[in-house]
Amino acid sequence: MLIFAFGFISAYPQDKDTYELTKNQSSIGLTSSIGICEVNQPVDKANISSSHGNLVISYGLIYDRTLTKRLKIETGICYAKYSIEDHIISEPFYNFYVTENYYVISIPVLFKYYFPNDYYLSGGTILDLVAKRGDWKISDSMNGFALSTGIGKEITIKKFYISLGVNFDLHTAIPFSGDLSQQKFFVPGFKVVLGRRI
């Protein structure tokens, strides 16, 4: 379906290729993304047989600025809720499931390199700050720096644009706890931005 969408928007008529960006031009926009959270399992959590994530929906504001004819920097602030389901086994008495909730504020710093026809590659980091957690606190914290990469396509209509892309984010790639063996949260997802040049 994503390939079909990219094929459709690449055929959308535009006045010119805008991958040669106007230097120092800025834009603001609304963004939303949807993805699936996958959780790895550290060896020190022997009483948890498995952990897996559920659907993740985030939304927020972004700001970007062109640096060169083909390079932008993007930042902003986003909010998301993550739900992690743990299967706990402690023989012979316990065998049950619990759901943990994380409410996370994220600040991305991404670089986007543009190709002809407004396709781009993105990469950078995301600062994750857990604003609130639910009653269950079994999994590791999500506070830390994430790594992000992605591909996408922009459609420009006068001063407005629509951006569609896929992102692959590894949360707690660099955790604040300093323990690199803690749980990692991998989120592949689909991202939409509605923006305006300023």
pLDDT on residue 50:
65
Residue 157, pLDDT > 50, answer yes
Q: What is the pLDDT of residues 3-13, one digit of tens each?
A: 444 444 444 44
Higher pLDDT: 91 or 177? It is 177
Q: Calculate the CA 149 to chain-centre distance.
A: 9
Q: What is the pLDDT of residue 97?
A: 81
Per-chain mean pLDDT for the chain: 84
Segment 104-147, tens digit of pLDDT: 999 999 999 999 999 999 999 999 999 999 888 878 889 999 99
108 DSSP β-pair partners? 126
- Distance CA(191)–CA(188), nearest Å, equals 10
Question: pTM for the complete prediction?
Answer: 0.82
Higher pLDDT, 98 or 37: 37
Task: Give mean pLDDT, residues 39-59.
Answer: 72
- State the average pLDDT over residues 180-185: 80
Q: How far is CA 109 from the centre of its chain?
A: 11
Q: Give Cβ neighbours of residue 75 (< 8 Å, ≥ 6 apart).
A: 62, 63, 64, 107, 108, 109, 110
Report the pLDDT value the prediction gives residue 178, as an integer from 0 to 100. 66
Q: What is the mean pLDDT of the segment spanning 171-182?
A: 82
Query: What is the rounded (10 degree) CA torsion for 171, 174, 178, 183?
Result: 30
Check residue 2 and give its pLDDT: 42
- Give every CB contact of residue 80 below 8 A, 6+ residues apart in sequence: 56, 57, 58, 59, 103, 104, 106
Give me the pLDDT at residue 11, please.
46
